[in-house]
Amino acid sequence: MYKSNVIDSTRVKSDKLVIDTDAGADDAMAILLLLSARANNDTNFDIVAITCTYGNTNLKNVEKNVLKTLTIANESKIPVYSGAYKPLTHNHTSDNFFGNDGFGDFEFNQKIIGNIDRSKHAAVALIDLAYKYPGELSILVIGPTTNIALAISLDPKFVHKIKRFYVMGGSVIGIGNSSPGVEFNFGSDAESNFIFFNSTRGEVSLLLPWETNLSINISSSWRKNVLGGINSKFLKFLNKAESKTKESPTWEPCDSLIAAAILCPNLIKKSIVTNITPIMEGEARGGILIDYSERSHKPNNVEIIQDVHVEEFQKILQDACLRNRTQNFRAHQCAAAALAISRSNSTIPHRGENNTSGIMNQCNDSPILAPIFHERPTAI
């Protein structure tokens, strides 16, 4: 018999979440989806920080885009930290998929209500939060993995204090979207991928790869006319942020899909636990090798989402944007997902001390870490 994963009200906000983002338009949708659930007290996660990294655009624009998103949500209390402005060993050039600023290049007329906390680097903030909430903190990684790799490099114990990483990235059947077989986020920093996935074990990392986004086959017409037609301040904002994307028959939600899986694990229809090995050299640099046949004899280090319940995902997005008219957002959507899944007889897989003093000295001594920490963009 199917068992619902709706969170008991006594556990609401018992776990902590950090969003590590490169703040393109798809990131904004993921952030607003999570904030919508948080505002209605319908999630078991309390968002304790947002950390910024380069990716869809440069770091300065990412900082601005995060603050714009928080302003739309009328949220000024979540700390925002600035992180890596480039990959560990290479330079980075954005493909401007969402416009030059990663956000549709539209004029934002509202007064920004938040600010960037520049008291510490994002990687240091991640370490501090991991020690503050050991075993309770999860991290949503929806940009390049550089901030995570920096945190691991500074304190290898950091990764063992994280409850779960939720990651959008990687190409698992060779399609890719930045070069053949390479997905954009992972292609941005191969060395950071290597550090990250060679430090984690078991099912601690839940990975949403590029091809799963493609396979859900949501039409651009649905995004533009159904979801985009909702009279909501969130959607008006997101429609402008996505306005520079190229015309395509289908819409790839990417970051909002992995965010929805955090809110409602029942969305995951099929997944596999295996080992992935990041590639750092050659034409496949930034790609990953997936041990489907279990021949590498390496320990499992990731759970890969292979299929999701698409209609339930669409309902979650719609209700988030209609949140003022929707009560008990998360419980309602997970219950709806449970009912639909049970009716279709689908099978749901079972998922089964702080020493930050001296960290900046470590950065100063490292030829790789020093420039990433100290060559900072102008404050906004």
d(CA 182, CA 91): 17
d(CA 296, CA 310): 33
Give me the mean pLDDT over the 185-189 stretch. 97
> Domain for residue 190, yes or no?
yes
Lowest mean pLDDT: which of 102-116, 185-199, 266-280, 344-358? 344-358
CA 268 to each of CA 19, 26, 67, 261, 334: distance values in angstroms, whole numbers, following the listed order: 20, 20, 31, 7, 12
- pLDDT at position 379 over 50: no
* 135-36-61 Cα angle (round to 5): 85
> Domain for residue 129, yes or no?
yes
> Domain for residue 9, yes or no?
no
> Domain for residue 6, yes or no?
no
d(CA 98, CA 65): 12
Count: domains in the chain: 1
> Domain for residue 88, yes or no?
yes
Element (H, E) at 316: helix 310-321
Question: What sign for the dihedral angle of Cα 40, 41, 43, 46?
Answer: positive
pLDDT of residue 374: 46
> Domain for residue 8, yes or no?
no
pLDDT of residue 328: 44
Q: To the nearest whole percent, how much of the chain has pLDDT over 90? A: 72
* 234-235-238 Cα angle (round to 5): 90
Q: Render pLDDT for 129-168 as a digit per residue (tens, 0 to 9).
A: 999 999 999 999 999 999 999 999 999 999 999 999 999 9
* 356-362-363 Cα angle (round to 5): 105
- pLDDT at position 353 over 90: no
pLDDT of residue 245: 85
Q: What is the span of the domain harbouring residue 101?
A: 16-374
How many whole angstroms from its chain centre is CA 86? Answer: 18
Give me the mean pLDDT over the 193-216 stretch. 94
Give me the mean pLDDT over the 33-52 stretch. 90
Between 38 and 159, residue with greater pLDDT = 159
- pLDDT at position 96 over 60: yes
- pLDDT at position 346 over 50: no
d(CA 339, CA 332): 11
d(CA 96, CA 107): 17
170 Ramachandran zone, left/alpha/beta (phi>0; psi -120 to 50): left
DSSP 153: H
Report how far apart the first and last C-alpha atoms of the chain are (Å, whole number): 54
DSSP 299: P
Report the DSSP beta bridge partners of residue 167: 141, 207
Pairing verdict, β 218-219 and 205-208 = unpaired
d(CA 321, CA 69): 14
Q: What is the CATH number of the domain that holds 55?
A: 3.90.245.10
In this structure, are residues 260 and 267 in contact, taking their beta carbons and an 8 Å threshold? yes
- pLDDT at position 296 over 60: yes
> Domain for residue 37, yes or no?
yes
d(CA 153, CA 138): 18
* pTM of the model as a whole: 0.84
Between 123 and 374, residue with greater pLDDT = 123
Main-chain phi, psi angles of 67, to 5 degrees: -65, -35
pLDDT of residue 337: 52
Give me the mean pLDDT over the 222-234 stretch. 93
> Domain for residue 218, yes or no?
yes
d(CA 178, CA 190): 13
pLDDT tier for residue 321 given thresholds of 50, 70 and 90: confident
In this structure, are residues 244 and 99 in contact, taking their beta carbons and an 8 Å threshold? yes
Residue of 96, 149, 102 whose CA lies nearest to 121 = 149
Lowest mean pLDDT: which of 313-322, 326-335, 348-357? 348-357
Amino acid at 298: K
